[in-house]
Amino acid sequence: MGLLNLDGRAALVTGGGTRVGVAIVQALARAGCDVVIHFATNAKGAKAAAADVEATGRRAAVLQADLRDRSAIDALARSARGAFGGIDVLVHNAASFERVVPGALSAAAWDGAMALNATAPYLLTVALAESLRERTGCVVAITCLSASRPWKNYVPYSASKAALEHLVRGLAVGLAPHVRVNAVAPGTVLPPSDYEDGKLRRMRERIPLGRFGDPDDVARAVVFFAENDYLTGQTLGVDGGRSVT
């Protein structure tokens, strides 16, 4: 079969008003999707992303929810379904990225990372499963290179992303054949602005392609999974080759 036509389909992107989320929203709109843009606190960014969607001729809706709150997840699912009559493409992009040095590891750091990065994607997928089945839809989770190569100062984050990758594989089996579930695992994309030049240079030297990723690199991978109807349970590394060095 050829690529699926996304024209007129409805997508929900969590964290869609910030950083990589904006690029994903824009790419899905260019591919023909109407887009529900979720945000937690960045209302300005979400509204700007909605304007980008509408500039392509597609429809946009903006919804707020704290995904660490389980009741808010159910409310978000109901509102997202109602925005355009259902959801065809669900993108789990919202995440916490907290640096926690080994000496400061705590229960709170663990619970916070797992709640947003693993539990919320699971619960939101379950809440939207019926709509996704009815539309033979797909789920794409944004994981991370650290899911397979843990970072010393980001243990709760890395562990939560590893849990998310395993969740992707489990849901791919559990929701088949009507719903496809895949993941995109970026490497270094938009490194923190407070990193000094020497550290950035050393990080770049470890990447075979010799550059950091761009949000559009990740967004194109999301669209690829949304359009290809014979892929499920897969994780695509978008990391310039860093995962093989």
Active site residues: 157
Q: Buried b vs exposed e over 14-23: b needs ≥16 C-beta within 10 Å?
A: bbbbbbbbbb
Return the bridge partners of 140, or none.
Answer: 91, 182
Alpha-carbon distance of 147 to 135, in angstroms, equals: 30
- What number of residues does the chain have? 245
Asked if 101 and 153 touch (Cβ cutoff 8 Å), the reply is yes
Tokens of 69: 């709150």
Side by side, which strands form the sheet with 89-92? 60-64, 34-39, 10-13, 89-92, 138-142, 180-186, 235-238
Asked if 239 and 202 touch (Cβ cutoff 8 Å), the reply is no
What torsion do the CA atoms of 82, 87, 90, 96 make, to the nearest 10 degrees? 0
Classify burial at 5, counting beta carbons within 10 Å of its beta carbon; exposed 0-12, middle 13-18, buried 19 or more: exposed
| Helices 20-30 and 215-227: angle between axes, nearest 10 degrees | 40
Longest dimension (CA), the chain: 53
